[in-house]
Amino acid sequence: MSLKVAVFGATGAVGKEILEILAERLFPAEEVFALASRKSMGVEVSYGEKALTCKDAETFDFSQVDLVLMSAGGDVSKSWAPKIAAAGAIVIDNSSAWRTDPDVPLIVPEVNPDAVDGFAAKKIIANPNCSTIQLMVALKPIHDRAGIKRVSCATYQSVSGAGQAAMDELWTQTKGIYVNDSVDPDAFTKQIAFNVIPHIDVFMEDGATKEEWKMVVETKKILDPSIKLFATCVRVPVFVGHSIAAHLELDNELSADEARDLLRSSPGLLVVDKQDDEGYVTPVESVGEFATFVSRVREDPTVENGLALWVVADNLRKGAALNAVQIAELLLNRGHLKA
């Protein structure tokens, strides 16, 4: 099969990760193109053991590729995804631009793979928000077994979720504090080094941030519209790896032991849950891993059929690039992606 694939936004953190994962998972592409803005023309990016030279997305002929993996921001996607689809390629988009469009599937392959068949309406598939992805992987088996009425969660999101400038700001501020330099915020609203910021994306009329709203609407679209979800999304001074403390109210009783056994046998999950110093996973251990990790599984006696989970994943991998590549593999396996 002589598939041709383009990665649009190849110089960004997620774009680079997509190229790495395509190579790691031996995705059957005859040729892979790295695309970026004109200012990045000629920049080299890694694809396995090869170096790809970035081409200008503005002048690229998209009719020569079968699949485009986009990670170039919402405005770029809104403008370019329909044009790319019209040229004949399927688009998998990592931005928030298409997630709520009823004609665009929002996919986590371990959770709602059948929804991918709806891609034909616009030839665009949306990749969910990073925190939503890892939460859905953990909640799906529990919802199938016991039913989920309500989820209350607090996220602890790394700075890489806000891009390279945010990672640079954490690094610069951390160094600056040690030498008494100023730590004026730029990428964030407040100092991020040695601090936490309960503010991701813009505020909405009801007091929630858009990041919190995304988790609500995406959970309903991916898993079940009847699930009630409340989130507080927090940026923390961690470079890579998102964490979520999730508190569930179930329709039916599910003990912590039963939940652990269920999650251990579910796709995409690794359970590390012992009552000792090494018995849980933190963001540092998740970096570079494909799995979503679950720890601290506990029964919550404050609500009927309550269950608590600690969910951790590499947000650049499972929370973005890996999920996009898994969607591409899903298209391939279902016969939707053909050279």
Catalytic residues: 130, 242
Answer for the pair 319, 161: CB distance below 8 angstroms, yes or no: yes
- The three-class DSSP label of residue 206 is coil
C-alpha atoms less than 13 angstroms from C-alpha of 36 in its C-beta half-sphere: 18
Answer for the pair 230, 217: CB distance below 8 angstroms, yes or no: no
**Whole-number Cα distances in Å, 167 to 17, 21, 162, 188:** 15, 21, 8, 11
**Whole-number Cα distances in Å, 233 to 7, 38, 173:** 29, 34, 22
Token pair recorded at residue 261? 């056994």
Strand ranges, E, within the chain:
3-8, 29-36, 44-47, 50-53, 55-56, 67-70, 90-93, 124-126, 148-157, 228-235, 242-250, 269-271, 292-300, 306-313
Query: What is d(CA 153, CA 244) in angstroms, rounded to the nearest whole number?
Result: 7
Token pair recorded at residue 99? 């997630």
Answer for the pair 76, 66: CB distance below 8 angstroms, yes or no: no
